[in-house]
Chain A
Amino acid sequence: MVGWSGRRKTLTILLFIAPTLIGILIFSVYPILYNTFISFTNRGMYRPNPDCTQTLTSIFEPSCWPMFRERAPKGLGQPYSLQTPFYGNYATLIGKLFTKESMVALLFILIALLPLWGARRLNQHYDRQLTRPVSSFVVWLGGLVGVALLAWVLKLPAQIAVLMKAGDFFVVTIRTILYVAVCIPLFFIVGLALALILNSSNLRGRTAFRVIMIVPWAASTVAIMMSLVWQFFFREQGTINQLLKLVGIQGPAWLNNPTLAFAVIVLANVWYTYPFFMTVILGALQSIPPEQYEAAEVDGANWWDKLTKITLPLLRPAVLPATVLSSITTFQMFGTVWAITQGRPSMGAGAPGATELVMVYAYKQIFQTNAYGRMGAYAVIMFVFLFLATLYSLRVTRITKGAYE
């Protein structure tokens, strides 16, 4: 900006940013620090109260601060204290990962994913060449086939089963990763198919269809309610089974079957999210110059060639950020799953249910077993994981640029 610097500039910028900064510091940063502190304590159902004579507690615990002291809970039970060793909660959650079998299983799983990394590198290599012998789509397909082959050779399901034995933490995390891995391609495929159809110029009622397809997005803002409707569809006496009965089929108890219940929450989530993908893809499609297709047609390309060699590569810059960011939100999915299954069906006493994704598991642990300390540790681990994912997404999407760059 023209001719302003020094103290006046600093003051102005502070004036602009201070409200946001203060709000974030008090109500976001402090709770995170506080949570990290709790994660090192044994706070829980039988030890809910703070002991304000301990130095650390008196610093972190808000009800120990002088101005709030009169509201400090004075219930029965012993006060909580730091764990010995201090990382006890973390050890309970992920300690069993550091055994020989688990490490071997983890290693095998990582090896099985190597072809995807290879495909990425190969694509980057081809991108730098003038011509590419095969399209990036084929390379990715090859990577997936490689993963499938390695998964078969290395007995991947058995390895995952070993890893899941290392604790509930791994059961729910692996299940959530599976959930994301199933959901994201479906979002993309449904969104892409509809966007391609709605983008064809000679379609009647294009605007109307576009508005209709957006409806689930609007409904997703009250996700918990629409999810209750979805739950109703798939009840044992629900709509779907009523329809099946009409054609003479005895429908299954969808939400009592682990696999089917999982499929139901995938379906509901696809319903909520495909309009978002469709909107993003439509926007990107409109920026592809039609001459590219005309030129390809002159060269005798069929629609498949045009799709894989022109459309998909050109969609990438728009779809990638959407994919990364929806992966993060899908990973944190709570309301939909909670309303439809509450994590059920049960997989045995004490084990997390078949649809207990990480956030559902955390919610249950917090409010049904009051395991605050352990869940604090869980939150910290998830935070680190999601933090890294966010940084990666920033690298991919490059959205930190300002107006001047």
Chain B
Amino acid sequence: MRRSTPGVKILQYVILAAATIFALYPVWFAVLASGRAGGRLYTFNLVGMFIPVEWTWENYRVMLLGGQPFLQWMRNSLFVAGVTTVACIVVATSAAFAFSRFRFKGREAGLIFLLAIQAFPGVLALVPQAQLLTAIGLYKNPWGLVIAYTSFTLVFCTWNLKGYFDTIPIDLEEAGMIDGCGPVQSFLLIGLPLARPALAVTGLFAFMTGWGEYALASVIIPAPDSAKTLMVGMYKIANEINIPWGYFAAGAVMVIIPVLLVFLYLQRYLESGLTLGGVKG
């Protein structure tokens, strides 16, 4: 394309360097803070703000073994997010296939209806959802959270998968039909295997909804400490005055780094698998 002059080139790299610091520093800061001794939160050392001049595993030890229910929270969150993902994919895929492939009355209306439901502001749906879950008997129960998250992510899952099915050429299935494939077989044998990238991205976002959600989790499972999900537990740690911030940082690093790795691994699917071109998880 355009040939850039040295001046432009330098400017580009200056901007990129600034953007790199902007993008990475918050995460890097958490990493640095997690390696500082508990009481010493602030470092007055300019170098220490960017490079680990001292390092201790003490915060990690405390979070993992020292009486903090961190692993318990992680297990709760893994359970909730994992079941949500599975439920979402299992339930939404067939509907998405139907919305993409079959022509029937109310198809478009149904799609718009799904999006319209999504417009109900999440935080404000807390009260009725919490009441419903309480009535069913799922208050203070992770399954209650699973149900709430699943219903919340269903819309995104259906839409995103439908968008991906739209991009798969229909010829394959038509060929299958001629060979005697019914709609169910064409879905299970042709549609599903082809939709793998979209299933990965959709599953990732469904998982992240369950993993990172705070408001509903803080209402449905407010206590006891060991039953909380990660976000609720970590939020409490960060806001408790007598708990060193380094503990929080160590926990945050252990939560964020796996997320980062999975995300970066699936990054190449983001452009193709995220078909809505707009909706974030």
Which of A21-29, A116-124, A130-138, A163-171 is found at the contact surface with chain B? A21-29
Encode B134-163 as 1/0 by CB contact (under 8 A) with A.
Answer: 111100000000011011101100110001
Q: How far is the CB of B35 from chain A (nearest CB, A)?
A: 15
B225 at the interface (CB under 8 A from A): no
Query: Given A220, A363, A386, which contacts B123 in the complex, CB threshold below 8 Å?
Result: A363
Chain B residues with Cβ under 8 A from A26's Cβ?
151
A178 at the interface (CB under 8 A from B): no
B166 at the interface (CB under 8 A from A): yes
Check B280 against A329 for contact (C-beta < 8 Å). Answer: yes
State the total of A-B contacts with C-beta under 8 angstroms. Answer: 323
Q: How far is the CB of B216 from chain A (nearest CB, A)?
A: 11
Chain B residues with Cβ under 8 A from A321's Cβ?
276-278
Query: Given A13, A28, A202, A382, which contacts B98 in the complex, CB threshold below 8 Å?
Result: A13
A222 at the interface (CB under 8 A from B): yes
Q: How far is the CB of A84 from chain B (nearest CB, A)?
A: 22
Which of A92-100, A229-237, A249-257 is found at the contact surface with chain B? A229-237
Check B108 against A400 for contact (C-beta < 8 Å). Answer: yes
Q: Residue of B at shortest CB range from A232? A: B245
Check B134 against A71 for contact (C-beta < 8 Å). Answer: yes
B214 at the interface (CB under 8 A from A): yes
Q: Residue of B at shortest CB range from A230? A: B26
Check A24 against B276 for contact (C-beta < 8 Å). Answer: no
B39 at the interface (CB under 8 A from A): no
Q: How far is the CB of A168 from chain B (nearest CB, A)?
A: 15
Which of A147-155, A334-342, A344-352 is found at the contact surface with chain B? A334-342
Check B248 against A31 for contact (C-beta < 8 Å). Answer: no
Check A383 against B2 for contact (C-beta < 8 Å). Answer: no
Query: Given A201, A225, A389, A394, which contacts B256 in the complex, CB threshold below 8 Å?
Result: A225
Interface size on A, residues (CB 8 A): 116
Could you say which of B4, B29, B44, B279 has the most chain A C-beta atoms within 10 Å of its C-beta?
A: B279
Chain B residues with Cβ under 8 A from A1's Cβ?
101-102, 177, 183
Check B92 against A20 for contact (C-beta < 8 Å). Answer: yes
Chain A residues with Cβ under 8 A from B187's Cβ?
16
Q: Quick one: which of A246-303 are within 8 Å of B by CB?
A: 246, 271, 275-276, 279-280, 283, 290, 293, 297, 303
Check B263 against A221 for contact (C-beta < 8 Å). Answer: yes
Could you say which of A23, A65, A390 has the most chain B C-beta atoms within 10 Å of its C-beta?
A: A23
Chain B residues with Cβ under 8 A from A399's Cβ?
159, 163, 276-277
Q: How far is the CB of B103 from chain A (nearest CB, A)?
A: 6
B241 at the interface (CB under 8 A from A): no
Q: How far is the CB of A66 from chain B (nearest CB, A)?
A: 11
Q: Quick one: which of A200-235 are within 8 Å of B by CB?
A: 200-203, 209, 211-226, 228-230, 232-233
Chain B residues with Cβ under 8 A from A190's Cβ?
19
Q: Quick one: which of B94-121 are within 8 Å of A by CB?
A: 94-95, 97-104, 107-108, 110-112, 114-121
Could you say which of B117, B127, B129 has the most chain A C-beta atoms within 10 Å of its C-beta?
A: B127
Chain A residues with Cβ under 8 A from B127's Cβ?
35, 38, 366, 372, 375-376
Q: Residue of B at shortest CB range from A190? A: B19
Check A280 against B212 for contact (C-beta < 8 Å). Answer: no
**Complex alpha-carbon distance, A229 and B29, angstroms:** 8
Check A13 against B15 for contact (C-beta < 8 Å). Answer: no
Given known contacts A27-B147, A334-B122, is B270 in contact with A403 (CB within 8 Å)?
A: no
Interface size on B, residues (CB 8 A): 110
Encode A310-338 as 1/0 by CB contact (under 8 A) with B.
Answer: 00000000100110111011001011001
Chain A residues with Cβ under 8 A from B214's Cβ?
224, 335, 338-339
Check B263 against A226 for contact (C-beta < 8 Å). Answer: no
B53 at the interface (CB under 8 A from A): no
B170 at the interface (CB under 8 A from A): yes
Q: Residue of B at shortest CB range from A363? A: B123
Could you say which of A16, A20, A68 has the most chain B C-beta atoms within 10 Å of its C-beta?
A: A20
Check A17 against B98 for contact (C-beta < 8 Å). Answer: yes
Check B16 against A209 for contact (C-beta < 8 Å). Answer: yes
Given known contacts A212-B24, A387-B119, is B215 in contact with A334 (CB within 8 Å)?
A: yes
**Complex alpha-carbon distance, A215 and B135, angstroms:** 41
Q: Residue of A at shortest CB range from B94? A: A16
**Complex alpha-carbon distance, A190 and B238, angstroms:** 30
A193 at the interface (CB under 8 A from B): yes
Q: How far is the CB of A23 from chain B (nearest CB, A)?
A: 5
Q: Residue of A at shortest CB range from B208? A: A221
A53 at the interface (CB under 8 A from B): no
B37 at the interface (CB under 8 A from A): no
Check A375 against B124 for contact (C-beta < 8 Å). Answer: yes
Check B270 against A279 for contact (C-beta < 8 Å). Answer: yes
Q: Residue of B at shortest CB range from A199? A: B1
**Complex alpha-carbon distance, A39 and B201, angstroms:** 37
**Complex alpha-carbon distance, A228 and B101, angstroms:** 44
Q: Residue of A at shortest CB range from B20? A: A212
Query: Given A17, A63, A225, A243, which contacts B95 in the complex, CB threshold below 8 Å?
Result: A17
Given known contacts A19-B91, A24-B155, is B281 in contact with A194 (CB within 8 Å)?
A: no
Given contacts A27-B147, A218-B263, A325-B278, 9 further A-B contacts (CB under 8 A): A15-B184, A62-B136, A197-B12, A218-B264, A387-B116, A390-B118, A402-B103, A403-B101, A403-B165
Chain A interface residues (CB < 8 Å from chain B): 1-2, 4, 9-10, 12-13, 15-17, 19-21, 23-24, 26-32, 34-35, 38, 61-63, 65, 68, 71, 190, 193-194, 197, 200-203, 209, 211-226, 228-230, 232-233, 237, 239, 242-243, 246, 271, 275-276, 279-280, 283, 290, 293, 297, 303, 318, 321-322, 324-326, 328-329, 332, 334-335, 338-339, 358-359, 362-363, 366-367, 372, 375-376, 378-379, 382-383, 386-387, 389-391, 393-394, 397, 399-404
Query: Would you list 12 pairs from A and B whose C-beta atoms are within 8 A, ordered by A residue?
Result: A2-B178, A10-B104, A23-B151, A28-B120, A32-B120, A194-B15, A214-B270, A225-B235, A271-B26, A334-B215, A359-B121, A404-B103
Chain B interface residues (CB < 8 Å from chain A): 1-4, 12, 15-16, 19-20, 22-24, 26-27, 29-30, 42, 44, 46, 49, 90-92, 94-95, 97-104, 107-108, 110-112, 114-129, 131-132, 134-137, 147-148, 150-152, 154-155, 158-159, 163, 165-166, 168, 170, 174, 177-178, 182-184, 187, 208, 211-212, 214-215, 219, 231, 234-235, 238, 245, 248-249, 252, 255-256, 259-260, 263-264, 267, 270-271, 276-281
